[in-house]
Structures are given as C-alpha cells and as structure tokens.
Structure 1
Amino acid sequence: MFRVRRILDDTRATGKQAVAQVQQIMRDQFPKLLPKTIAALPHYLRNPVKYGFRSVLFVADDVKGNTKGFALMSHDPELNFAYLDYLSAARGVTGQGVGGALYERVREEASRLGVIGLFFEALPDDARLSKDPRIRKQNAARLRFYERFGAFPIANTRYETPIVPGGDNPPLLVFDGLGNDVSLPAPLAKSIVRAILERKYGDILPEGYVDRVVESFKDDPVKLRPSRYLKGEAEVIRKRSLPVGKRIVLIVNDKHAIHHVKEIGYVEAPVRIDTIMAELDKTSLFYRVPAVHFGEQRITAVHDAEFFNYFKRVCSKLEPEESVYPYVFPIRNAAHPPEDLAIRAGYYCIDTFTPINRNAFLAARRAVDCSLTGAKYLLEGTHLVYALVRPPGHHAERRAFGGFCYFNSAAAAAQYLSPFGTVAILDIDYHHGNGQQVIFYSRRDVLTISIHCKPSVAYPYFSGFASECGEGEGVGFNINYSLPEKVDGPAFRIELKTALTRIKRFRPQFLVVALGLDTARNDPTGTWDLLPDDFEANGRLVGALGLPTLVVQEGGYDTQVLGINARRFFTGLWSAAYE
C-alpha cells in the first residue's frame, strides 16, 4: 500500500527525507544524469524563478516514509503549459501501480493549473531510432501506457533529432491534452518547445540545434501520431473512477471502540463511527490512510502538562469497565487537591457527566494522533482531510475536560500547523467550542470562530458569548456567533456566510473545521432543525474557500441520520473544491 503526496520543499524533516530518497532513485534509474543535476533538486523546489519553471514534486511512499517512486513536473505560467521532467519507480518496485498513480496525480495537478496540456519526452519505439530490440520493446510498453491516458507523440517534427549525429534512442516529444478537446497552435508549440530545449538542455545543445527543431513545427495546429497500441479499445484511464489525488484523505480512530461507556443515556457511543463509515463507503470520495503516532509533547502543546499527567495516571489505575464521574469541585480552594485521584477529577472537569475510565486516555490520545496525521497531510500538499474520531474534543480546554471531550484534537492540529502559516478554526457544532477559545484566546495567528446555540440554553452554558473576543494580541481573533434555540438551515447559513467572510479577511493558510452533526433535526443533544440538504449546502460554502482543509469530527448523536448528514456535508465540500 502506498500514498501519493506532494513535497513542497526540504525544509522540514519529512520533506528532507523524501527529497533524499528521490535523489537516490534518480541515481539508480537515470545513471547518465549529471551529479549536479541531481543535487539541484532541492533548489528547484525552493527557488523556481532561477530555473525558469515552477517545480512540483510528488512521491509515492508508504506510511513509514519509504519512497517507492516519484514524479517531477515543471509549470510555466506565462506560456501556460506543464512539462513532466521525470516519472520513475524505485529500483525493484514493479507491478504495484506506482507509475500509474503518480501519472494520474501529475495530470490532476496540471488540470488544476489550467494549462493547455502536459508535455514530456519518451524514448522511441521505431527501429530507425532505437536499435536494440530489448530496449525498443520497453519503449513501446511505456508509449502504450501513455496512450491509455490519451497522450501521443507529436508528429512531423525534428524533435527526435539526436544531439550527436548517429546517436541512439533520441526522445520523442509527447503531448497529453488532459482529456480536453483542444488543438495546439503551431506558434504556441514553437514557443513551448524553445522554452523546454533552452531551459532543460541549453548548456549541452550544439549551436543552431534549437532553431532547427523549432522551425520543424510546420503543422498548424500541431498533429499527433495516431494510436499504435489501443487498437480501438474503449479504455481511457481518464474516465476511470475518482483518482486518489482528488479524494478526501480519511483517518479513522482505530482505537475509538475501546472507549465504550455502556450506561443508559450515554450517547457518545462507538456506533457513531460505524454509522458514518457505512455512508462514506457508498461514495468514492475517500482514501483511507492509517494514523501516525505522535509524541506526548503535541498534546501538552495545547494542554497543561499537570492535567495531561493526571489524566494519564488516573485512567491507568481504574479497573476495566469501571467509570468514575467527577462529583467534587474546588470552588472554595483549588490549591490543595485531595490525594484520591478519582475524587480529584472535579479539579479538571467542567461537568458531572463526562466519565473517566481505563481506556478514555488511550482513545483520546489516538484521536489526537488522527487529527495530527491529517494536519501532516495538509502540510504535504493534500487539499481535503477528514479525521473521523471519537471521543470528540472541542470542549477540552487547556487544563480541563468535559462534554465527552478529553483532549482537543482540533486545537492540537491547529497548533501543529501554526508554525507553517496562519490557521482558522471554524467550529460548527451545536455547542460552543470553548476548548479552542481558551487555548488560543490570546493569540492572533489562530483565528477561532464558533457558531453555536446561545449559552443561556445550551452546554457548556458559561462560555460562547459574543462579548468574548480574545485578549491581549488575540483581541478580535476569537469570534462567537450565538444563535437562538430554534434555527433551521437557511438561518444557519446566514451566520455561516458571515463567518466565512471573516475567515477570508483573515487569509489563513490552513482551515480546521470542528464538524458537529448535532445541529441536525431531532439530535438528542440539540434543538436545531438542519436537514441533509442543509449539510450539503454548508459543505459547499466551506469548500468554496479553496483552503487546505482538515475536518475533525465532533458531536452528532442521532444515528438514524448521522451518516447521511456526514456524507452530504462531504459531498458538498468536495464538489465545491473540485468541480
């Protein structure tokens, strides 16, 4: 199993490791490449202006970061074309679909950029240009592969002229129109070919070579070589099901079910995840990946270390199936907590109905792993990610748990992303996102917005008022939209549009959505009236921002409609992002 992800540069550890492995593949698979060309790869990514192209690097790797293949694409925004420099699997990697997945991802990126087409070189399958039958057979196999995507060599030109007279295997220039019915005008083709030859090979081409090749493009529009390999086959890969690069990366808490409070009225149950997954599986929108394990410091970055250590310790000392509910609260004196850990729970909890049990710590920590994995995917170039987790987290404050929440997964993800750019958190749960508010209240690099039922009638009751707008540097960067007890879809969208306008003004690099589905009609913890159509409309509005977005699951407890509403939200989100 492998994933395809984009590497932005080598300034972070994961990017540095991937670039180093790509350079090794280049050495193994392209032995004639000059060492200076391989060494320049990081500079292509960091300084595109210097090299005349904007470089885009994709790698196919496993969850341990072992690179199985890579693709390097160049983009010229002025001439509006893309050029595939390299596409290669690692040594010994065959028959795993790596090449196809990488090429699909390159095509998706080229389509997203709106270029006229994708150009690249391929070795010839003609005996006059490729003398060795064994090599010629390999060349033919590659050209057949590209034909299945609708990519064909450009005909009637001298592009394949050997640099050294009599040279073997001079490359053909192949054009992929990316599934669009477009023609390539000769004047544009000449400009593109000149750019490719001068920027890629300018230091090795003999005098006059570029002019001779460019002037050989006489057909207007340019003609492509007819298919040699499809033989009338209907298959064209561009018509297949949704490619991986356009799917929503899905990370599910694989340890959520160990936290199961089997008591009447406790609605935060494992069936919530099962219900959502049953509906997500009906679509092709998702690409599931495993969670990566992160260190405790990622949690203590947003939670008080004393609270973290207490919670870890008290959970480990409880018997299986035993739950402890807070019942003593330090209103008079918080400085001298009792020795009994169970009794001390009230020193860290905001209510009496969120229990501590043996597996609460393990499940909550794994939920944070999921959200952090999602944030990691955003940093690596993924556009949409969904961390499907329980227990939820948005009520967990810096040193307090409650509302079924123990660790704040959305806040941990926002904190993880914040060194790399500004972050907006949009909480659209029925209940106020008091956890994020407390954690980021004095910061301006993380905008926190919560749309929720007014705290005079809804949990947590003590926070979520419009007057709570931040403090110190954070003034104006915490916003609460407190709505009435009865709200339908259109009324909710009025506030959502206002919130999204504020996010646009903030201009964040990343968006974290704390998704509550308890805004639905008949949810046992809410009073609002949103229907499936409303969730899809909300998803479209959020997706239209065009931001790299991580969605973290929060509330939602009516299992009759929970999955449907989740599916409809993501249908809207994906549609706005990609259609």
Structure 2
Amino acid sequence: MFKIRVIQSSSFPASKERLDQVQEIFRQSFPSLTYYADRLPSLLNDPVYHGYNSVLFVAERPLGRLDAFALFLYFPEIKFAFLDFIAVRPGIRGAGLGGALYEAVREYCHRIGAKGLFMEVQPDDPELTPEPQQLKESQQRIRFYEAYGVRPVWNTEYDYPVGDPPTHAYLLYDSLGKEKPLHRADAQQAVRMILTKRFGHVVTTKEVDRIVASFRDDPVQLRPARYRKQSPPAAEVRSHRLDNPYALVHSETHKVHHVPERGYVERPIRVEALLEVLQPLPFFTTLKTKHYGEKPILAVHDRDLVHYLQTVCAKLKEGRPVYPDTFPIRLPERKPKELAVQAGYYCIDSGTPLYKKGYVAAISAVDTALTAADEILAGRRMAYALCRPPGHHAGRKYFGGFCYFNNAAIAAQHLSRHAKVAVLDIDYHHGNGTQDIFYDRADVFTVSIHGHPDYAYPYFTGFEEETGTGAGLGHNLNLTGKPGTGEEAYLKLFQRALDRVLKAGTEILIVGLGYDILKGDPTGLFALKPETLRKMGQLLTSLNLPLLVVQEGGYNILNIRRGSVAFFKGIAEGLAVR
C-alpha cells in the first residue's frame, strides 16, 4: 500500500526528508541529469525566478519510504501544465506506481483549473529512436498514455532535433477529460512557454520561433492511436488519488461549554456555522482531534493556573458559572484562599466565566490545535484548527477574553522544536496572551494586527512600542488600526506584517484568525468586508509557507459564514496561481 503526497516546498518540515529520497531516485533513474536533482529545492521554493510553479508528487509507503515521484510544472499565466518527470525506484516493477502518480497529476490539474497537460516522450519510431531498448520503452510509454486519450501532437516540427548532441522528442497532449480541441493559439503559447522557461538552456530563440511557427493546424492535430484499434476518448479525471489539500480539525467536545446567559457571545453556534459552510468545500479533509495530555499545556502555561482551572471547574455546579469580580491591583503575590475569589487572581476581566465543563472544552481546543499542528509536520500545506473556546488572550499565568488556554501558543511551542515559527494574529483584539508567552523569546516571532488599545479590549497591551524584551527584543510586532479601518489601510498593515514574517526567517506560520475584523461584529470596530479576507488568503499563500490557521474570535454569525468561505477560497486561489 502507498499514499500519494504532494510537495510544493522543501521548507515544510516533512518535505525535507522526502525531497532527499526524491533526489536519490532521480539520480538513479537519470544518471546523466544529476545536476537537475540538485535544482529541485530551488524549483520548489522560488517559482518567480524560474517562471513556473513546480510540484512534486510522491508515492510513499507507511514507514516513510518513497518508491516513485512525478515532477509537474504549471504556468499560471496561461493555465497549462507540463509533466517533466515520472520515475520509479529502480528494482520496483508492477506496483502501479506510475499510473497512480499520473492520475494524481491529472487530478491536481483539474483541481487548479488547468486547461491541459503536456509532456515529452522519446519517439516510438525506429528512425528517431534506433536503440532497441529505448524504442521498446518509448512504445510502452505511449501505449500507456493512449489509455487516457493522450496522443502525440502531430504535423508540427516539435520533434525537430535540438541540443548537443541533438535529440528528438514527441510532445503529448492530455485534454484532462475535455472533448474541447486544442486550438493553435493556445498550443503556440504553451509550447513557447515550455521551450523558453523549461528548455531555454538547450533550445535557441531561433529554434523556438521555428517550432512555434510550425503549428499551422487549427485545431491542432493529434496522431491517431497506434496501439489501439481506434483512438479512445479523453479519459475523465477521477478524484481518488489525492487527499483534499487542507485539513479541517474540530472536536464535538466544544459543545459542553455553553454559557446560555444573555450577552455571552462565545457560543457553540460559531463552530456549527463554520462547519456548515466549510465542510462542503472541495479542498477540506475533516479530521477529529487526538488527545495530547497535559504536558504541552504545561510547556506554555503556569502549573498553578492549569491546576486552578481544573479544580474549580470540577467543583462548580452545572448551570452555575462564576464570574471574576475582584482583581488584585497592588499585591498580585497574595492569592485568596477561596476558589471563587481566586477567579479575579487568575483572570484579567469580568466577562470570562468559569463553568462546569469549561476546563474539558479548553483541553479539547488545545488538542484540536495540536492535531492540526501535527498535520503540518506531516506535510499538509494548510490545516485549520477550529478551536473553541478561543485562546489568544490567555497568558502564562492568566486567562480572560473568553480564553482559558492559548491554543495558538501551545501549537507554536510544539512546532518550534522542528522549525522557525511565527504567529500572526489577525483577530480584532490584541493577542496579549501570545505576546506574554513569547515576549522574551527569539525562537517564535509574534505579530498582532488589532484595534488600537485606546478603543479595543484588552486596552492595556498591544501598543506599537512593545517589541519584546531580553532575547525576544525585536521579535514582537504590534500593528494597530483605528475604528472604521477599511480594506486599503488594513491591507497595508497586513503586508507589513507579512514582510516581517519573511524577514524573521519563518518556516511555519500560525495565523490566529478572528472574523471580528469584519464590519458588524458586536466586539469589533473595523469596517472590513469578506472580500478583504479573500485577498488576505491569497497573500498568505504567496508566502509559500505551511499555514496553521487557529480559530480565535468573531461573533456575528453571518460574518462568520461569509468571511470563512472568502478566506479559505482566497487561500485555494492563491495555491492555484503560486
């Protein structure tokens, strides 16, 4: 058994080991092209430089061994793709690996909206391929592609010998299940792009012009089937080889934390609304949470805080929440003896109740974030941790703002053992808890875009002069907006944040997502629309970083529905053009 995985960047923690194996197979399979194996990290990580997007598909066994790979190039400006290489580890035969990889490539093309897929093969004609073994392999390869309705482009000079020594190649075309013919203008545009961007080191400009001009038929002619009685129709693209690219992780346990009091807006319907609109989208794989225990929480939060929340919640009666109402201003080291009174010792506001099942739900939210984090470590491009209760207002020794444990910070701590992590908080309210936890650390860069503390909770933190302390000096950034901040002003702040994230050498980005930045939220004063979230999603994808999105605030249900769809569609659109 094997699983097809997609690798789009060598900076993903799990991708580095896989890429090493791909390079090994490449050098064994194409010993005359070992230099190209060395280029693979650059191809994946720097699409702007190369002029196309590169994607690796790997066939992976349960213990992490790779047995085959395919390298795929995509030219987003013309929406055509090119299959560069397919290779199986030497010594492995008859496992169906090549077919599985090709079907995965076709499925991926369909997913990103590619118009068609091209590839080169050695000609299956004896006069162009006189070496018997090469000829046999070429005939087998073209016979395989014919089963998908794929045939060589005919009546052109693409097989014109180029390079030193000169070599011949046939250009094959896969319409990806569409019966629509390949028009000359599209073919000429694609061929010029392939020859100049991919093969510009061996093909001269004069040769490119000659080959492109040789496409005279409209529509372009394909060679009749040679290995079948008649040319088969274009094979339908089947969606069965690839997992959906994004993980959506949630836990039903959040429902036990329901404070049905007037004015308490952090309600279970928030998660239910998100699941209702996101699960039908074609790019999410829904996963349940795993349990991680107390250790990851204690790596971030003070043991006394954790023990207090566990103890007091267990002692409360069902339906009888306790709200903090007395806060130590001058003598925080003096802790009251009564559990109910201690609420003001550990909490920063009077609006976050202690509830019978609050601790259980908070643990579940942490597990949700950690499960999603492990999906990132396993190579997932994006994972959405649908956490409830939220977490970014919970600091090392305190809770508040509807938050008990800091889900994003706990995930960042977990991931920081493997890569350089940044946390970008885009909730309307300052991520004071996340700042508190990492304020004196250099290994996790924290940035928060939020309403100015003069107008927005938690009021006493989030000023731009707060940049870190000790080893963490310069590793915390606060960007603030005034009431009524619209798209133009906000996206300028957002781009500043992204620039700093890249400058920090980030390898994994955690995004604290709050829909309370949208106009009409009962707790926020910005004037953003869902379209802004779509643009933000596109910009995040352009960073080419693994994204762990952790749910924070947002309390207008209509905004939650519209904003979430816009944001994740923006990420999906960004992936298609990266």
Point out the more displaced range, 478-487 or 336-345. 336-345
Summarize the alignment of residues 84-103 of structure 1 with structure 2, pairs less than 5 Å apart: 84-85=87-88
Asked whether the equivalents of residues 110 and 118 of structure 1 are also in contact (C-alpha less than 8 Å), the reply is no
CA deviation map 1:193-219 (0-9, x unaligned): xxxxxxxxxxxxxxxxxxxxxxxxxxx
Summarize the alignment of residues 110-189 of structure 1 with structure 2, pairs less than 5 Å apart: 117=119
Asked whether the equivalents of residues 442 and 471 of structure 1 are also in contact (C-alpha less than 8 Å), the reply is yes
Asked whether the equivalents of residues 82 and 110 of structure 1 are also in contact (C-alpha less than 8 Å), the reply is no
Summarize the alignment of residues 137-536 of structure 1 with structure 2, pairs less than 5 Å apart: 226=226, 228=228, 232-237=232-237, 244-245=242-243, 247-536=245-534
CA deviation map 1:124-183 (0-9, x unaligned): xxxxx9xxxxxxxxxx9x99996665667999xxxxxxxxxxxxxxxxx99896959677
> Alpha carbon RMSD of aligned pairs, Å?
4.7
Q: 1:230 to 1:4 in 2, by over 3 A?
A: farther
Between the aligned partners of 2:508 and 2:120, the Cα distance in structure 1 is: 29
- Report how far residue 48 of structure 1 moved: 8.0
| 3-state secondary structure, aligned to 1:419 | coil
Asked whether the equivalents of residues 87 and 99 of structure 1 are also in contact (C-alpha less than 8 Å), the reply is no
User: Which residue in the other structure is 1:44 paired with?
Assistant: 21
1:82 aligns with 2:85: yes
Q: 1:152 to 1:444 in 2, by over 3 A?
A: farther
- Report how far residue 76 of structure 1 moved: 11
Q: 1:489 to 1:344 in 2, by over 3 A?
A: same
User: Which residue in the other structure is 1:559 paired with?
Assistant: 557
Code of the residue aligned with 1:236 in structure 2: it is E
Asked whether the equivalents of residues 72 and 87 of structure 1 are also in contact (C-alpha less than 8 Å), the reply is no
Between the aligned partners of 1:84 and 1:176, the Cα distance in structure 2 is: 19
Between the aligned partners of 1:311 and 1:563, the Cα distance in structure 2 is: 32
CA deviation map 1:414-445 (0-9, x unaligned): 11111222112111111001111111111222
TM-score, normalized by length of structure 2? 0.69
| 3-state secondary structure, aligned to 2:511 | strand
Code of the residue aligned with 2:458 in structure 1: it is P
Between the aligned partners of 2:172 and 2:286, the Cα distance in structure 1 is: 33
Asked whether the equivalents of residues 57 and 71 of structure 2 are also in contact (C-alpha less than 8 Å), the reply is no
- Report how far residue 105 of structure 1 moved: 4.4
Corresponding pairs, count? 476
Point out the more displaced range, 496-505 or 330-339. 330-339
Asked whether the equivalents of residues 118 and 178 of structure 1 are also in contact (C-alpha less than 8 Å), the reply is no
Point out the more displaced range, 374-383 or 433-442. 374-383
- Report how far residue 340 of structure 1 moved: 2.6
Code of the residue aligned with 1:274 in structure 2: it is E
TM-score, normalized by length of structure 1? 0.69
Asked whether the equivalents of residues 148 and 236 of structure 1 are also in contact (C-alpha less than 8 Å), the reply is no
Between the aligned partners of 2:544 and 2:307, the Cα distance in structure 1 is: 39
Between the aligned partners of 2:460 and 2:379, the Cα distance in structure 1 is: 39
| 3-state secondary structure, aligned to 1:324 | coil
Between the aligned partners of 1:489 and 1:106, the Cα distance in structure 2 is: 37
- Report how far residue 249 of structure 1 moved: 1.5
User: Which residue in the other structure is 2:69 paired with?
Assistant: 73
Asked whether the equivalents of residues 246 and 578 of structure 1 are also in contact (C-alpha less than 8 Å), the reply is no
- Report how far residue 254 of structure 1 moved: 2.4
Q: 1:59 to 1:341 in 2, by over 3 A?
A: farther
Q: Identity of counterpart residues, as a percentage?
A: 37
Q: 1:88 to 1:474 in 2, by over 3 A?
A: farther
User: Which residue in the other structure is 1:123 paired with?
Assistant: none
Code of the residue aligned with 1:530 in structure 2: it is L
CA deviation map 1:214-261 (0-9, x unaligned): xxxxxxx99896574996445421xx5697456322112321111111
Between the aligned partners of 2:548 and 2:513, the Cα distance in structure 1 is: 10
| 3-state secondary structure, aligned to 1:311 | helix
CA deviation map 1:453-481 (0-9, x unaligned): 11111100110001100011211110001
- Report how far residue 103 of structure 1 moved: 5.2
CA deviation map 1:52-78 (0-9, x unaligned): 4479684679xxxx679975316599x
Asked whether the equivalents of residues 517 and 556 of structure 1 are also in contact (C-alpha less than 8 Å), the reply is yes
Asked whether the equivalents of residues 110 and 117 of structure 1 are also in contact (C-alpha less than 8 Å), the reply is no
Structure 1 unpaired stretches of 5+: 20-40, 121-128, 130-139, 156-172, 193-220
CA deviation map 1:538-565 (0-9, x unaligned): 2222222221111111111011221111
Asked whether the equivalents of residues 354 and 404 of structure 1 are also in contact (C-alpha less than 8 Å), the reply is yes
Between the aligned partners of 1:99 and 1:46, the Cα distance in structure 2 is: 17
Between the aligned partners of 1:290 and 1:463, the Cα distance in structure 2 is: 35
CA deviation map 1:479-530 (0-9, x unaligned): 0012112211222112111211222222311111101100111111111111
Between the aligned partners of 2:83 and 2:13, the Cα distance in structure 1 is: 32
User: Which residue in the other structure is 2:136 paired with?
Assistant: none
| 3-state secondary structure, aligned to 1:560 | helix
User: Which residue in the other structure is 1:542 paired with?
Assistant: 540
Asked whether the equivalents of residues 107 and 239 of structure 2 are also in contact (C-alpha less than 8 Å), the reply is no
Asked whether the equivalents of residues 22 and 66 of structure 2 are also in contact (C-alpha less than 8 Å), the reply is no
| 3-state secondary structure, aligned to 2:516 | coil
| 3-state secondary structure, aligned to 1:385 | strand
User: Which residue in the other structure is 1:163 paired with?
Assistant: none
Between the aligned partners of 2:57 and 2:557, the Cα distance in structure 1 is: 42
| 3-state secondary structure, aligned to 2:359 | helix
Q: 1:84 to 1:314 in 2, by over 3 A?
A: farther
Between the aligned partners of 1:505 and 1:13, the Cα distance in structure 2 is: 19
Between the aligned partners of 1:481 and 1:285, the Cα distance in structure 2 is: 32
| 3-state secondary structure, aligned to 1:511 | strand
